[in-house]
């Protein structure tokens, strides 16, 4: 029975890993369906809490959720099983592509396609910038934070890690003062 639930949770998150296309928030309904409705590993209210925590913590969202649920089922070993389950499909698929792509990269047709794709990818990263900005509810008093952060990284080559650390400390101090 114990072995069974390791395997069951590994399989479930393997499936979630395969079917997450485009990544991010698109996978929440699938996780809820599997984990809450089908297997009843977590209550619906608890799931909302887990999603909120997994989103605010660093790291890949899907991995964070997988670790939480794996740990809840079987402690540390359960967490390792679900984490491997989530990461494995990506790892295998990308590996296959990486091995073969290097052979097609210099093909003139493939090269032409990627010349068209590259500007689109830059746009695809620009879009969530605006979406996240909306969700962060930026206003006249906070808009300087992303602007200054972006300029520091872009023009002065400051590591984004320093920006993250500074923003976290800044938020903490501000919370102290405002309280």
Distance CA 111, CA 32 (A): 40
Closer residue to other proteins, CB minimum distance, 29 or 116: 116
Residues 113-172 contacting other proteins, CB under 8 A: 113-133, 135-136, 138, 142-143, 145-151, 153-154, 157, 159-161, 163-172
Closer residue to other proteins, CB minimum distance, 9 or 64: 64
Smallest separation (angstroms) from other proteins to the CB of 139: 10
Smallest separation (angstroms) from other proteins to the CB of 176: 7
Query: Pattern of binders to other proteins over 61-100, x per CB under 8 A?
Result: xxxx--xx--xx---x--xx--x--xx-xxx-xxx-xxx-
Smallest separation (angstroms) from other proteins to the CB of 178: 8
Query: Which helix (H) or strand (E) element contains residue 29?
Result: helix 28-31
Residue pair 21/90 in contact by the 8 Å Cβ criterion: no
Smallest separation (angstroms) from other proteins to the CB of 8: 19
Interface with other proteins (CB under 8 A), residue from 43, 57, 104, 107: 57
Alpha carbon distance, N-terminus to C-terminus of the chain: 51
∠ Cα 16 55 147 (to 5°):
130
Closer residue to other proteins, CB minimum distance, 40 or 130: 130
Distance CA 176, CA 66 (A): 33
How distant, in Å, are the alpha carbons of 54, 171, 177 from that of 49? 9, 22, 28
């Amino acid at each position: 029975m114990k072995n069974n639930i390791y395997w069951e949770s590994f399989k479930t998150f393997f499936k979630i890993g395969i079917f997450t296309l485009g990544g991010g928030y698109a996978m929440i309904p699938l996780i809820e369906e599997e984990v809450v409705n089908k297997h009843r590993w977590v209550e619906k209210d608890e799931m909302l809490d887990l999603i909120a925590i997994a989103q605010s913590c660093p790291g890949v969202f899907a991995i964070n959720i997988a670790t939480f649920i794996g740990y809840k089922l079987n402690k540390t070993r359960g967490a390792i099983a679900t984490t491997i389950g989530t990461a494995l499909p990506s790892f295998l698929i990308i590996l296959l592509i990486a091995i073969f792509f290097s052979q097609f990269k210099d093909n003139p047709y493939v090269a032409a396609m990627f010349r068209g794709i590259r500007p689109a990818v830059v746009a695809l990263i620009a879009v969530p910038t605006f979406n996240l900005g909306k969700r962060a509810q930026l206003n006249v008093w906070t808009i300087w934070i992303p602007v200054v952060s972006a300029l520091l990284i872009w023009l002065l080559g400051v590591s984004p890690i320093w920006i993250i650390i500074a923003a976290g400390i800044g938020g903490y101090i501000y919370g102290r003062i405002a309280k």
